[in-house]
Amino acid sequence: MDAFTTHTGTAAPLRRSNVDTDQIIPAEYLKRITRTGFEDGLFVAWRKNEPDFVLNQPQYANASILVAGPDFGTGSSREHANWALLDGGFRVVISSRFADIFRNNSTKAGLLTVVLPEADVEALWAAVEADPALPVTVDLQTEQVTYGSTTVPFTIDPYTRWRLLEGLDDVGLTERHLDDITAFESRRPAWKPASLPALPTR
Amino acid sequence: MGQTLAQKVYEEHVVRRTEGEPDLLYIDLHLVHEVTSPQAFDGLRAAGRTVRRPDLTMATEDHNVPTLDILSPIADPVSRAQVDALRRNAAEFGIRLAPMGDRDQGIVHVIGPQLGLTQPGMTIVCGDSHTSTHGAFGALAFGIGTSEVEHVLATQTLPQYPAKQMSVTVDGELPPGVSAKDVILAVIAEIGTGGGQGHVIEYRGSAIEALSMEARMTICNMSIEAGARAGLIAPDQTTFDYLAGRPHAPQGADWDAAVAHWSTLRTDDDAVFDREVRIDAASLTPYVTWGTNPGQGLPIGASVPDPAGIADESDRLAAESALEYMGLTAGTPLRDISVDTVFLGSCTNGRIEDLRVAAALLKGKKVDAETRMLVVPGSVAVKLQAEAEGLDQVFTEAGAEWRGAGCSMCLGMNPDQLKPGERSASTSNRNFQGRQGKGGRTHLVSPAVAAATALTGKLTAPADLETAGV
């Protein structure tokens, strides 16, 4: 995972609530077994069917910060949604509320999700609609979103922040505690089920 | 202060707790399917890691599998490559796999309970949001992404933070023709798709206690549609009776020890929930969705809502765009909406009781001439059971299509899809735009409403059939 410290780019205003992961990337793109190259599936139905969809507008085509309505990333747990956003050039998604699994997947994939109050999202929408070229800075070190003369603080749990700033891989961190895992396993009740040996349906 | 059921299960699985870091939570069972796992196995290989506990891991093929001609190679080369990748990975890492054609194959959330691998008090994960299904047994079960799949494969643990606690209490008796599906659609309509965000929901109350295990699975399955991290129900005698004698259920002295522990898995009287929701079972009627998220549902007797009457701006915009996508006009009675396709199946409603309910309504009758009905059992075992009971004949004699097991039209990763503009009544869990096929329009319904709708070609409650003379 790439480390995330600070990012400055332009922002696309996605004035929709309940953007589910089927909209971010439809299931047909999930048949691939690679981890990159999902940009062609990103919001593909809206890009194809809605000429005025925000990412079809040239002034937002190169945006790297997505500013979305509430309940972004609901539905399927597909991490392909996070990969597609990264592959499509986004480093940050801002919303007033994210679905839990999407947000969690983002912290693993290196996509920063920033929760701002709805009023601050509205203000940012208005600002980038008035000036699509307006640079927006999302600084994870200072936990601030800055554009024009406006600075809005955000919070993120300190552990996730540290992990993103360092670009650390979770598996490697957990492997430091293998002794704890082994000790826990020795205490598990014997009646807990195991899939092996296989006992098939009768 | 006492603990909730979910807190008890969570605390029993904490491997390591340190100030300023997430807890490390042990995972008792990791279910794997072909769609969200290939990149995780690649990650293991790249890092030279192995699967720590193949014996706590179980894989199956479900999302991509065709429901016709299932013993031939999959025609779609991309789907076939993904299924082949799972087969190679399972062989290389020593993981049990129930492939197409196997008696244990089926939707991952149907086979876990069926095999007795899903038990009370466990932690269960899968790279699939409907893992919440297993909460019906009093397990803490939740969906994860592919990076976390890799983490669990490598370490059998996950870094986690404790969730907030929500209770949904459903007291009273459900009216005839009203099912678990209607309960959960009503809950989601009430609290919204983000209402459960950050929470684990415990479903409780006399109406929940009266439900069968399969009905409890339907409710827990759609917890994610309310935004919850998981949903669960305290285990009781119904749970133990369901589990007894299943292939992987404990036996003899182990069974007694397990039941003794499972019986402690209840929310303490003095436990405090962060949020409480109450629903009167007697007030419920069959629910159907009219929009493009599962919170956009109403009793079947209602009409398509007028977005102009919705105060919240983002909800109003969402309703406007949903009506446009769905091709619906405000004020239209939901019962006047005609469908092209009825889909009975999925991890929500693809179990034997669901098929029995639908078959009882279809028996001796004919599916509407303009309507296609697809019946897709949730697993091979469900299919065989239905065939042993003669349900397949009821469906085919009524004019429905009897198919092989899999996820099928719930998300259309196999050839079972809606065409653009086609409308379905579906017992699945998501009515998102394009979910069942590009341009397809989905109304979520219960198995009983699905069967009644198949008979009339319009959204229909089972109680309407008599009036309609069908």
More confident of the two residues B101 and B385:
B385
Q: What percent of chain A has pLDDT over 90?
A: 96
Which pLDDT value is given to residue B313? 82
| A99-148: pLDDT as tens digits | 999 999 999 999 999 999 999 999 999 999 999 999 999 999 999 999 99
DSSP state of A10: -
Mean of the per-residue pLDDT values of chain B: 97
The pLDDT of residue A202 is 63
Listed residue (B182, B168, B429) closest to B283, CA to CA: B182
Nearest-CB residue to B128 (from A22, A77, A180)? A77
Task: Look at residue B357 and tell me whether its pLDDT is greater than 90.
Answer: yes
pLDDT of B235 reads 98
**Angle in degrees, CA B384, B388, B394, rounded to 5:** 100
Q: Do A104 and B145 touch (CB under 8 A)?
A: yes
CA B87 to chain centre: 25
> Which residues on adjacent β-strands are paired with residue B442?
B424
Instruction: Tell me how many residue pairs between chain A and chain B have CB atoms under 8 A apart.
Output: 223
Q: In the prediction, which pLDDT does B311 show?
A: 87
Instruction: Indicate the pLDDT class of residue B193, thresholds 50, 70 and 90.
Output: very high
Contact list, B56 vs chain A (CB under 8 Å): 194-195
Q: pLDDT tens digits, residue range B395-432?
A: 999 999 999 999 999 999 999 999 999 999 999 999 99
pLDDT tens digit sequence for B198-251? 999 999 999 999 999 999 999 999 999 999 999 999 999 999 999 999 999 999
Give the integer Cα–Cα distance in Å for B189 and B153: 36
CA–CA separation, A37 vs B292, rounded Å? 28
Q: What is the Cα–Cα distance from B173 to B252, expressed in whole angstroms?
A: 36
pLDDT digits over B258-278, tens only? 999 999 999 999 999 999 999
Name the residue among A100, A189, A201 with its Cβ closest to that of B247: A201
- Report pLDDT for B34: 97
List the single residue in A26, A188, A198 with the smallest CB-CB distance to B434.
A26
User: Is the model's pLDDT at A55 over the cut of 70?
Assistant: yes
Contacts of B249 in chain A (CB under 8 A): 193
Is residue B469's pLDDT more than 80? no
Chain B residues whose beta carbon lies within 8 Å of the beta carbon of residue A35: 39, 42, 146
Average pLDDT, chain A: 96
Q: Report the residue from A71, A175, A191 with minimal CB separation from B193.
A: A71
Give the global pTM: 0.97
Q: Does A69 touch chain B (CB under 8 A)?
A: yes
Mutate to test the interface with A, among B432, B436, B438, B444 (most CBs of A within 10 A): B432
* B128 contacts A105? CB cut-off 8 A: no
Say yes or no: ipTM exceeds 0.90. Answer: yes
Closest B-chain CA to A118 = B314
